[in-house]
Amino acid sequence: MPKAKLESQKKAPKTKAKVAEVEVKVPGPLEELEQKHERKNVLMQGNEAVAYGALDAGCNFFAGYPITPSTEIAEILARELPKRGGTFIQMEDEIASICAIAGASLAGAKALTATSGPGFSLMQEGIGFAKITETPCVVVNVQRAGPSTGMPTSPSQGDIMQARWGSHGDSPAIVLYPDSVKESYELTIRAINLSEKYRTCVVLLLDEVIGHMRESVLLPDLRKTRVISRIKPNVPPHWYKHYDKDQKYLSPLASYGEGYRFHVTSLTHDALGFPTNKAAEAAEMMARLRRKITYNIRDLVQIESHQMEDAKIAIFAAGITARSAKAAVAIARSEGIKLGLLRPLTIWPFPDEAVRKMLQDVEAVIVPELNQGQFIREIKRLTRDKSEGNVVGLTKVNGQMLTPNDILRKVKEVM
């Protein structure tokens, strides 16, 4: 990684008292030249992109445990975090890793961990902790073929539903899903930003193929990269409510050691953070967790619409499968087939609105995915008054990718 980028990171933005979203400081002419120099094309792996994205978003704490195919993220951060005064710690297991990042976050860190399927399963209780206590943190899951130990170096999209429903109890989820090395960088920054803004655990799902694939990437200009840090309270400690219901559920967050002496519990709690068994308070807490997401759905959902304007048949796919789908669209178009692609960058909350529109606009939808049919359940949920027969699945779970030809063949079957 070029050095100039590391320098610019040191001049990370400072949080203004009241405003959560802060523009990166515009550098002087010399720094600008340096930055121009460093933002040339680099050959980079998806996992590297995640690590540098995390650093550029201000991540200063990583706790993790080695697991293929995510290990490069830990290795890079073990090398880079100490250079910036950040903390890297290799924990005794993935349970400890998620707990350590949640603890660090409560002490004020921007914290991240990275893992794969087996570790992601172990982290589920901790993810639930971060959600109920509204503690910002990011879990990167570089998916591998499962179930269980499965095929550690083979791709799979088997954790789509686990990322949504994996932790017990009913809670919403924010899950992002990049389709390229460049987007892995961008969505890592976005994952950290969203975790800070919405005070929750944000999951970044990567495909094994993207984690390990090297692509030539032109990273976006750091000056135009928006870095969000949590809002700090501006009231005296005795007025501070850890879960303030004002401000559209995006309430300020104090850190340990700053004089606020608040209580955090994974039990159902009241606005101050103390445990409660009162029905009204429990209902309010649950509503708060849900509304935080539903009230802000437009900010959370990101979707790419590719050649959908005149499409008769649409593909709905994410991650590496969307890359194959994009190639399939190009081939189909050259043959005169009006094929389009709808690709979610945010898979949870699910892009209901965009999918409903797609279902209205096209005659058939093909849902290719590297599992036994997870996305397709969500699409069928939204068909309601349309025939489910127009939604066709295409699955592969043998550890190999779906190729453009696999998808094209399905398109021609449907036509």
Partner 1 sequence: MANIPQKVVHDYLRHDKKFPHVWCAGCSNGIVLGSIIRGVASLDIHRDDIVMVSGIGCSSRMPVYVDFNTLHTLHGRAIAFATGIKMHKPHLKVIVVTGDGDCTAIGGNHLIHAARRNLDLTVILINNNIYGMTGGQASPTTPHEAFATTAPYGNIEPDFDICQLALGAGATHVARTTAFHTQEVQKMVSDALTHPGFSLLEIVSACPVIFGRLNKKGGPAQMMKDMRDNSIPLSAVDKLPPEKREGKIIRGTLRKEIMPEYTERYADLVARVAAMGEEA
Tell me how many residues contact partner 1 (CB under 8 A).
Answer: 44
- Give the shortest CB-262-to-partner 1 separation in angstroms: 7
Backbone phi and psi for residue 369, each to the nearest 5 degrees, phi listed first: -160, 150
For partner 1, give the closer residue by CB, 37 or 83: 83
The CA distance from 318 to 198, in Å, is: 24
Q: Which residue of 25, 37, 83, 409 would you call a contact of partner 1, by CB under 8 A?
A: 83
CA-CA distance, 274 to 264, in Å (whole number)?
A: 7
With CB under 8 A as the contact rule, the residue among 267, 287, 330, 415 that binds partner 1 is: 267
Q: Give me the sheet containing 61-64, strands edge to edge.
A: 87-90, 61-64, 111-115, 137-143, 201-207, 174-176, 346-348
- Helical (H) or strand (E) element with 80: helix 71-80
SS3 83: helix
Exposed, middle or buried by CB within 10 Å (0-12, 13-18, 19+), for 263? Answer: exposed
* Residue in 256, 268, 302, 390 binding partner 1, rule: CB under 8 A: 256
- For position 262 contacting partner 1 by CB under 8 A, the verdict is yes
Among positions 266, 268, 383, 403, the unique one binding partner 1 when judged by CB under 8 A = 266
Is the preceding omega at residue 275 within 30 degrees of 0, hence cis?
no
In the complex with partner 1, which residue's Cβ is closer, 108 or 211?
108
**Which two three-digit tokens encode residue 26?**
């515009």
Smallest gap, in angstroms, from Cβ of residue 43 to partner 1? Answer: 22
CA torsion, ordered 64, 150, 206, 311, to nearest 10 deg: -170
Structure tokens at 366: 């093909």
Nearer to partner 1, 66 or 275 (CB): 275
> With respect to partner 1, which residue has the nearer C-beta, 83 or 248?
83
Q: Is 263 in the site for partner 1 (CB under 8 A)?
A: yes
**Residue closer to partner 1, measured from CB, 97 or 321:** 97
Binding of residue 63 to partner 1 (CB under 8 A): yes
Q: What's phi and psi for 263, nearest 5 deg? A: -110, 135
Q: Is residue 188 a contact partner of residue 50, using CB atoms and an 8 Å limit?
A: yes
Please identify which residue in 32, 75, 215, 258 interacts with partner 1, judged by CB under 8 A.
258
> Over the Cα atoms of the chain, what is R_g?
22
Asked whether the bond before 69 is cis by omega within 30 degrees of 0, the reply is yes
Stretch that binds partner 1, among 11-19, 252-260, 365-373, 383-391 (CB under 8 A): 252-260
Residues 86-115 that bind partner 1 (CB under 8 A): 87, 89, 91-93, 95-97, 99-109, 111
Region binding partner 1 by CB under 8 A among candidate stretches 44-52, 60-68, 176-184, 372-380: 60-68
For residues 141 to 160, the per-residue mask of contacts with partner 1, x marking binding by CB under 8 A and - elsewhere, is --------------------
Q: Is 233 exposed, middle or buried (0-12, 13-18, 19+ CB in 10 A)?
A: buried
Which one of 31, 32, 125, 284 is in contact with partner 1 (CB under 8 A)? 125
Q: What is the contact surface with partner 1 in residues (CB under 8 A)?
A: 60-61, 63, 82-83, 85, 87, 89, 91-93, 95-97, 99-109, 111, 125-126, 129, 256-267, 272, 274-275
